[in-house]
Amino acid sequence: CVVSERHYDHAEVRALLEKIDSDKLVVLADALFEQISSVVNGVDLMLVIDTPAGHLPASIDTDCIILDGLQDAGNVGSILRSAAAAGIPHAFLTKGCAFAWSVKTLRAGMGANFHLNIVEHCTLEMLESRLAVPLLATSSHADAAVFDTDLRQPVGWVVGNEGGGVSPEWMAHVSRTVGIPQPGGLESLNVAAATAVCLFEAVRQRRASGG
């Protein structure tokens, strides 16, 4: 644990420091702490912890989201935030995704990481036999608009890479593709925005049906 001199006696910080072994505590001069911290105007406290490890369920029969090679940490964090807000319990990140616990991802997620079961470095082989829900993906050549698709039952959302979309490997296992009407005429939405639209359309439908 690393703490600055100015916050060493902060009441809330002290309560945390009392739980840490003294030989694992480092107190730095304020100017030095500022040089190693990426946070401005925050509480001057850093801790080294083990990255939380999610669990891979034997059967995935609830809503889930699969991030297929998303490389931007801000997008990953925003999607995790929307997923947590929509009540989705599981997030599976494939190889090539931005690190779910990076500073940028955590900031964009605004605490969402601690409300989700996040499993990283997933492959199709790892998930295929466990998935007991149909998979849906967004596409510009979709089978139907997301607003015309029945989303009242649990589904797995496959979210593709910012540039290339869903990989052919995952697209081959998708039950249906859905599109988002864009009367403004733009070619596409940001992946995090598009995902939020889909997740909360499912929320809307289930509320309307009393689910």
Q: Which domains does the chain have, with CATH numbers?
A: 2-46 (no CATH), 64-208 (3.40.1280.10)
Three-state DSSP state, 204: helix
Is it the case that residue 153 has pLDDT exceeding 90? yes
Q: What 3-state DSSP class applies to 160? A: strand
Asked whether residue 45 carries a pLDDT value surpassing 90, the answer given is no
Strands 144-145 vs 135-138: parallel, antiparallel or unpaired = unpaired
d(CA 81, CA 126): 24
Task: Report the pLDDT value the prediction gives residue 162, as an integer from 0 to 100.
Answer: 86
Report the alpha-carbon distance of residue 80 to residue 67 in Å, rounded.
10
Contact of 118 with 100, CB cutoff 8 Å: yes
pLDDT of res. 158: 98
Instruction: Please check whether residue 74 is in contact with residue 104, taking contact to mean a CB–CB distance below 8 angstroms.
Output: yes
Q: Which of 71, 170, 69 is nearest to 127 (CA)?
A: 170
The residue count of the chain comes to 211
pLDDT greater at residue 203 or residue 46? 203
Coil, strand, or helix at residue 157? strand
Read off the pLDDT band of 189 (50, 70, 90): confident
Helices (H), 47-163: 73-85, 103-109, 124-128
pTM confidence score = 0.87
Confidence band of 141 (pLDDT split at 50, 70, 90)? confident
